[in-house]
Structure formats: C-alpha cells, structure tokens
C-alpha cells in the first residue's frame, strides 16, 4: 500500500479556521504525516474529538470521525477501541477537553490502558470561547476569567498521565515539528494508552493577555523553555523553574486492555465475535 500525506487530509476543507499563528494546524499536519509514515489506512483509523478550537481538528482529517461533547473524546474513543480493537484510534484534544472538563476521563483512560493515542495541543487557555483559563493555565497568568492572574496552580499533564499509569508519555512543542511527527508515530505504534502533549500557543488570547507578543515571539518563548529530558533532569531542582522537559518522558511495556480482555474472554469460554471483523 502506498499512501500520501494528502490521503489523510481533507484539503477541500482548507484553509482551516484557526487564527494566524495558532499551533493546531501544525499538530494536524504532524498527525497526517505520522499516519502516512506508518501506512495505516485512513479507513482503518478513527479520530475522536471534543469541543474547542482543537475539537475542530477532525474536520481536516480524512479518516472516520466522531466529534462529540466537551471533554469526552477519550470515552468515545474507548468505546470504539474496546468494540473494534483492530482499528487505530486517536483522540485529539485541547487542554480544556483533556485536562479540565475531561480530566477524570484522562486519568482513567491512562489506567485502563486501551490502545488509544491521545494528543493534546495545550495552549493554556480556551481559545474558541474567548481565552478563559483552563487547568493548564499557570498560576498568576492572565486570561479572560483570571484578569488578576489565576489563583490556581496548573496541571503538569505528562506527570498526571504517568501517575495514572500511562505507558507511553511524551512532550514536544509546536516548534519541534519533526520531533512531534516522530513522537506521534511512536505513540501510535505503542500498544497501550499513549499520550503526547504538544506545548502550543494561542497568540490571539493567552499571548495577548500575558503580553507575550506575536506568534513568532511566543514560539521563541516556548522553544527557549523546552529542554531535552536529559538536559532538564541534569539541572538542579531550583534551576528547573523556567524550563520543561521534552521527549519520551516515560515508556513502559505492559499488557493493554485488549490483551487482558482476551484473557477474560478465554476464561469466560467465549471467542471473538466474527461480526467485529466481518461484514465490511
């Protein structure tokens, strides 16, 4: 099978609706290139999304799609993967979807270990609805609902997922496009719950509220704060404040849900229903 990157994109839907300088289009491009590199057929791939700017990502991807409610991309994906384990399932979420309203689903998806790839484009605020704060808005940062600076600390998403049992956890930024593409491909290939956080920017709201300049200067800010995992952890703890680690932060082989559930089915005396694979 030969596939082109364009096979995964709905080019007739372009230009996309995201603002100039937004990271989300970069992430969609990386997802398409990763799928093409792995030669996973578009009709064997399901993308689930929730609500928000990045919740529109499925509009541009030419696979099967389930565009659901805010924060629920992962439980929709879980139903798909549990019912049809032969499909490749990706949940594309913003920080509101993944970490805020959907935080409970995130930790349980990591624990349950269905073979789903969760990709979060984290721009630290709700872009679509006017730049309100989210669970990844850092303490003290301004948004349209934290005009004096947010009084709440933010989640470290990768630590949260590692702590919840996620077996493949990686972080990159929208500046590191090649690394992003490679990490997404590795995450998709990993058997079990995989998680890729893309540190992203929203110049329209978060950047403006926090005087971080235009898209180019926000990209530079993110790039300067991103250190490879090795460099980051060589720093003394008190030197780490201005930086964050990138790369594969945690990889651990473990039996995924489908493998474990096959054992359950064997014990119960059942076999896989043919209807799941057949009648296509």
Question: Which residues bind to another protein, rule: CB under 8 A?
Answer: 13, 42-44, 46, 48, 56, 58-59, 62-69, 72, 74-84, 86-87, 104-105, 108, 112, 261, 264-265, 267-276, 279-280
Q: Report, in Å, the least distance between residue 16 CB and another protein.
A: 13
Judged by CB, which is closer to another protein: 47, or 198? 47
Q: Report, in Å, the least distance between residue 121 CB and another protein.
A: 19
The span from the CA of 103 to the CA of 164, in Å, is 11
Judged by CB, which is closer to another protein: 114, or 183? 114
Judged by CB, which is closer to another protein: 91, or 170? 91
Q: Report, in Å, the least distance between residue 143 CB and another protein.
A: 25
Query: Could you tell me how far CA 67 lies from the centroid of its own chain?
Result: 15
Contacts of 228 (CB under 8 A, 6+ apart): 245, 246, 247
Q: Report, in Å, the least distance between residue 95 CB and another protein.
A: 19
Residue 82 in tokens: 């549990």
> What is the greatest pairwise CA distance in the chain?
62
Q: Are 94 and 56 in contact (CB under 8 A)?
A: no
Judged by CB, which is closer to another protein: 65, or 255? 65
Q: Report, in Å, the least distance between residue 25 CB and another protein.
A: 17
Judged by CB, which is closer to another protein: 97, or 186? 97
The span from the CA of 90 to the CA of 45, in Å, is 8
Contacts of 162 (CB under 8 A, 6+ apart): 169, 249, 250
Judged by CB, which is closer to another protein: 48, or 136? 48
Residue 158's closest CA among 87, 247, 224? 247
Judged by CB, which is closer to another protein: 58, or 256? 58
Integer-rounded Cα Rg, in Å, for the chain is: 19
Q: Are 90 and 46 in contact (CB under 8 A)?
A: yes
Q: Report, in Å, the least distance between residue 88 CB and another protein.
A: 10
For the chain, what's the residue count?
280
Q: Report, in Å, the least distance between residue 280 CB and another protein.
A: 6
Residue 110's closest CA among 66, 156, 136, 74? 74
């Amino acid at each position: 099978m030969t596939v082109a990157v364009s096979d995964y994109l709905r080019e007739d839907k372009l230009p996309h609706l995201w603002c100039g300088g937004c990271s989300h289009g970069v992430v969609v491009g990386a997802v398409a290139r990763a799928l093409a590199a792995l030669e996973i057929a578009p009709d064997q791939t399901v993308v689930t999304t929730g609500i928000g700017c990045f919740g529109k990502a499925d509009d541009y991807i030419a696979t099967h799609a389930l565009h659901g409610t805010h924060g629920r991309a992962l439980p929709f994906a879980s139903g798909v993967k549990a019912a049809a384990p032969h499909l490749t399932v990706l949940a594309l979420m913003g920080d509101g979807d993944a970490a805020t309203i959907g935080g409970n689903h995130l930790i349980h998806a990591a624990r349950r270990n269905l073979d789903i790839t969760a990709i979060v484009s984290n721009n630290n605020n709700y872009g679509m609805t006017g730049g309100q704060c989210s669970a990844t808005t850092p303490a003290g940062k301004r948004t349209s609902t934290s005009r004096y600076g947010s009084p709440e600390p933010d989640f470290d998403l990768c630590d949260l997922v590692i702590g919840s049992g996620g077996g493949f956890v990686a972080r990159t930024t929208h500046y590191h496009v090649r690394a992003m593409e490679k990490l997404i491909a590795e995450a998709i290939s990993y058997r079990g719950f995989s998680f890729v956080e893309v540190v992203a920017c929203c110049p329209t709201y978060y950047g403006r509220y926090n005087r971080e300049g235009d898209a180019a200067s926000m990209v530079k800010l993110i790039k300067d704060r991103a250190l490879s995992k090795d460099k980051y952890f060589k720093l003394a703890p008190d030197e780490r404040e201005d930086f964050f680690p990138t790369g594969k932060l945690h990889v651990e082989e473990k039996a995924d849900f489908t493998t474990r559930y096959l054992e359950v089915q064997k014990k119960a005396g059942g076999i896989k229903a043919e209807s799941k694979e057949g009648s296509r």
